Structure 1
Amino acid sequence: MHNSWVSLKPLRDENSMYFDNGFEKYCERIVKEIGDIPSEVLEQWVYRLSDDEDVTNEFGNIDYTKIKFELQEWCTNKMLNVKPTKFGEDFFERRIKELANSNGDIKQGSYGHLKNLINHWNKKGTWKTPPIIMISECFKENEYQTPYQLVEGHNRLAWIKYFALNDSELKLAETHKVWVMKRK
């Protein structure tokens, strides 16, 4: 495991469940120790999932001091080339089957509680929070899916795949914001 991954783990006083401004403290420390990683990337991924064994095994050997994240707009067809993590493939496929079983009605099933998110999808045809996608050829620390591997956002990727390949009342936007992870 790379030292920078260890540094990315939130410290006790950076836990927002117990301390006011915990996430803000975390972001300030990360900028000093690792470099400028967007807070939106940290919050949805490492801040929440750094203790997850699968996430650590998949991404823990990367030197994050040599990584950059860029916010980009990708077309739907390019999104279809993104592969889920190996540990997330079953979850990803289950989500797509769930959508198929409900004929793409995202108000049903395990999504029904996500009212604000669903409203955003219906209005904008895309997600609120851009997922994180790695350019796989930039990384040799593990055998990553090519050409692009999802880092975080399995639900979002499943929704894009389902709605791009199936008729539905939900119309996808032409482009979608993504956080692209690559070497500096």
Structure 2
Amino acid sequence: MLEIDLYKNGEDEKFEEYFQRIHKLLPNWPEEVVKEWLYRHNNQIEDYFYLGFHNFKFSLEKWENKKIMKLINSHKMDYVIDPLGLQILDKPYSFLQKYIHENGTWPSPIIVLKNGNDIISDNKEFLGKPYHLLEGHLRLGYIRNLYKNNKKLKKEHLVYIVKKEN
């Protein structure tokens, strides 16, 4: 039932309607997380569905650049996140690139899972430890590449931390 309701999002469904429906199923989920992850990336929900979305508890924290660089990991870091993030070093052309260049941070927090265990994905890959990136691959790639190249960044960035409650 939950999976069907999450996938019900169609191009003609406004976010407000989607959020009202999803909030009944996932009351622990902040509105911004629903919008940035479930609504905007509806075709990628199944990537982490096995984790049990109803068990997620969220907190919003400020993290320094060094903490982001050191603690957030992903099995996609070397072949997706960092290579895609190189785009930010060229002349910024997209909304996201311009925003990050002008503000030194991302427009909405990335979402990471606290992974103290060896969680294995449905694809038999270990999730990143101690924090695994769930949503915000391009944003993280941009910040990582700006940091590595000593470009102007804010000292801290907002990050949604997800903990699984059993």
Q: TM-score, normalised by structure 1?
A: 0.74
Percent identity, aligned pairs only, is 24
1:93 corresponds to which letter in structure 2? D
**Between Structure 1 and Structure 2, how many residues are aligned?**
160
* RMSD over aligned Cα atoms: 2.4
Conserved? CA contact 2:87–2:142, under 8 Å: no
SS at match of 2:79: helix
Give the match for residue 55 of structure 2.
66
Cα drift, residue 88 of structure 1: 6.5
Q: 2:108 aligns with which of 116, 129, 145?
A: 129
Separation in 2, partners of 1:138, 1:44: 26
Q: Is the contact between residue 163 and residue 172 of structure 1 (CA under 8 Å) also seen in structure 2? A: yes
User: Does residue 23 of structure 2 align to residue 31 of structure 1?
Assistant: yes
In structure 1, the residue matched to 2:12 is: 18
Q: Distance in 1 between matches of 2:23 and 2:90?
A: 41
In the TM superposition, what are the counterparts of 1:38-53 in structure 2 within 5 Å?
A: 38-52=30-44
In structure 2, what is the equivalent of residue 9 of structure 1?
6
Aligned to 1:120, which of 66, 85, 99?
99
Deviations 1:18-61 (A, max 9, x none): 24xx3212211222222231121111212233433xx52x4111
Partner of 1:182: 163
Q: Distance in 1 between matches of 2:15 and 2:136?
A: 20
Which residue pairs with 2:81 in the alignment? 92
* Bigger shift: residues 150-159 or 120-129: 120-129
CA change 1:136–1:91 in 2 (3 A) is same
Q: Distance in 2 between matches of 1:66 and 1:176?
A: 25
**Gaps spanning 5+ residues in structure 1: where?**
none
The 1-side partners of 2:98 and 2:41 are apart by 26
Tell me how far apart the structure 1 counterparts of residues 133 and 161 of structure 2 sit (CA, whole Å): 10
SS at match of 1:37: coil
User: Gapped runs of 5+ residues in structure 2?
Assistant: none
The structure-2 alpha-carbon separation of the partners of 1:88 and 1:73, relative to structure 1 and needing over 3 Å to count, comes to: same
Check 1:24–1:97 CA distance in 2 against 1; reply closer, same or farther (3 A cut): closer
Change (3 A) 1:152 1:163: same
The answer as to whether partners of 2:86 and 2:141 remain within 8 angstroms in 1 is no
Q: How far apart are the structure 2 equivalents of 1:36 and 1:48?
A: 18
Cα 1:97–1:159, aligned 2, differ >3 Å: closer, same or farther?
closer
Give me the TM-score of the superposition, normalised by structure 2. 0.81
* Higher CA-based Rg: 1
